[in-house]
Every structure is written in structure tokens, then in C-alpha cells.
Amino acid sequence: QQQVKQSPQSLIVQKGGISIINCAYENTAFDYFPWYQQFPGKGPALLIAIRPDVSEKKEGRFTISFNKSAKQFSLHIMDSQPGDSATYFCAGNPGRALTFGSGTRLQVQP
């Protein structure tokens, strides 16, 4: 019940394209959903986060779409750039402990 399922495992997108990563959660007590970006050998860096009382949040090229009834949320990266190539993790937490998805390795080709 604590799982967050993330897909796809890997994604290749052309420069300028839209990258879409999807996550689904089971625990309805989750009330905070962040996305983290991780470069090799580095710690996860907070990218954007959403709470379940809104359906969408946009920050620059990054948008989270949230569907509470389906218990799903997704990250959209508009105008994807080679510098966006990294591993992206979705997460959720009802309390303090973040439960992470399995990660999506994004490669943006120039």
C-alpha cells in the first residue's frame, strides 16, 4: 500500500519534444507529491511538487498533472533539452517518509 509505481523505466526524446513520466500511488493518505531530478553521482534535487487539492502545477518548462480519483500524477517536460538528461523520481508521503518510484532515465537527444 506504500508503493509508488513509475513508468516508463527509460525514455528517449528529441530536443524540443515533450517528455512525459507517469506515476501511480496506492495509499490515499499520501498528501504531497514531489518530483526529483538526479544526475549521476549526485543527490536527488527537488524539481517541482504538488498537493492533491490542485490538478495541475506549472513551473517553467515543468508541469505536474494530478488526477486524485485515479491516484495518478505525471510530469511533463516541455521543450526538452539535452541538459534535462537525468533520472527522474516521483515520490509521495503521508508523513515524513518519502516513498520513491523506481525512476525514469530520460535521455534527450540533440
How far apart are the C-alpha atoms of 58 and 69, rounded to whole Å? 20
Q: Does 5 help bind another protein (rule: CB under 8 A)? A: no
How far apart are the C-alpha atoms of 9 and 76, rounded to whole Å? 15
Does residue 22 contact residue 71 with C-beta atoms inside 8 Å? no
Tell me 69's DSSP state.
Answer: T
Specify the stretch interacting with another protein by CB under 8 A; choose among 10-18, 28-36, 59-67, 77-85. 28-36
Specify the stretch interacting with another protein by CB under 8 A; choose among 21-29, 39-47, 52-60, 69-77. 39-47
Binding to another protein, residues 71-110 (CB under 8 A):
89, 91, 93, 95-103
∠ CA 36-41-45, rounded to 5°: 20
Which of 62, 58, 51 lies closest to 86 in space, CA to CA?
62
Nearer to another protein, 38 or 72 (CB): 38
Q: Does 43 help bind another protein (rule: CB under 8 A)? A: yes
Site residues (CB under 8 A) for another protein?
32, 34, 36, 41-46, 49, 89, 91, 93, 95-103
